[in-house]
């Protein structure tokens, strides 16, 4: 199933381009790169210089570029949780 704006919370973020567009901490705004790892509370992105930056999910709004080229913004608090638990949580809310 391809990643779409409607089902992005049901998918892995690894491999997507991400950019922080809003944050409670101004130092995170503008950070961007390829998502290389995801934990319960953070997203790790590799920037164009090859540096890996750890970004907290709970205080940032992310803009992701999907494989189809579509850009979607996601409020970080919706991403908090282990990826496998996030899928379960989203699925339960729909029913």
Residue entry with tokens 């049901």: 10
More confident residue, 90 or 25: 25
**Angle, CA 47 vertex, CA 46 and CA 51 arms, to 5°:** 65
Beta bridge partners, 16, equal none
| Confidence grade of residue 92 (pLDDT, cut at 50, 70, 90) | low
Which architecture, in CATH terms, is 8-94? Roll (2.30)
Query: Are residues 29 and 18 in contact, defined by beta-carbon separation less than 8 angstroms?
Result: no
- pTM, two decimal places: 0.87
The CA distance from 38 to 59, in Å, is 15
Q: How many CB atoms lie within 10 A of CB 88?
A: 12
């Amino acid at each position: 199933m391809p990643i779409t704006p409607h089902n992005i919370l049901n998918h892995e973020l690894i491999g997507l381009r991400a950019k922080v567009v809003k944050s409670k901490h101004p130092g995170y705004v503008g950070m961007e790169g390829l998502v290389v790892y995801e934990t319960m509370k953070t997203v790790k992105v590799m920037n164009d210089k090859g540096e890996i930056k750890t970004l907290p999910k709970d205080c940032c709004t992310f803009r992701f570029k999907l494989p189809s080229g579509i850009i979607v913004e996601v409020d970080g608090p919706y991403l908090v949780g282990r990826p496998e638990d996030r899928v379960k949580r989203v699925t339960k809310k729909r029913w």
